[in-house]
Amino acid sequence: MDEFRGLDKQNANPVLLQWLGANTRAFRDAYALSEMIQWIWRTQIRNGEPVCVYMPSKKMRVIVERWLGVD
């Protein structure tokens, strides 16, 4: 089984967020989720094999669990 240790908080460049006018919590959370999904997809999960994911960041766990619909 492949092992993936989730990155800490994923944050977009604040200057870019200001320039895009997208410096909202919803956008920042969507960006963080997108980055985490991309990193997980780069493991062997894309081949249908199991992966153990560890996310030490509570913020990232909450964002991913909310996306997955986990209570």
Crossing angle of helices 58-68 and 25-41, rounded to 10° = 80
SS3 sequence of 21-61:
CCCCHHHHHHHHHHHHHHHHHCCHHHHCCCEEEECCCHHHH
Per-residue pLDDT in tens (0 to 9) along the chain, 71 residues: 555 555 556 677 788 888 888 888 888 889 889 988 888 888 888 899 998 888 888 888 899 999 999 86
Give CA–CA dist 47/21, Å, rounded. Answer: 37
Give CA–CA dist 11/28, Å, rounded. Answer: 7
Q: Which of 33, 36, 51, 44 is nearest to 6 (CA)?
A: 36
- Per-residue pLDDT, 67: 94
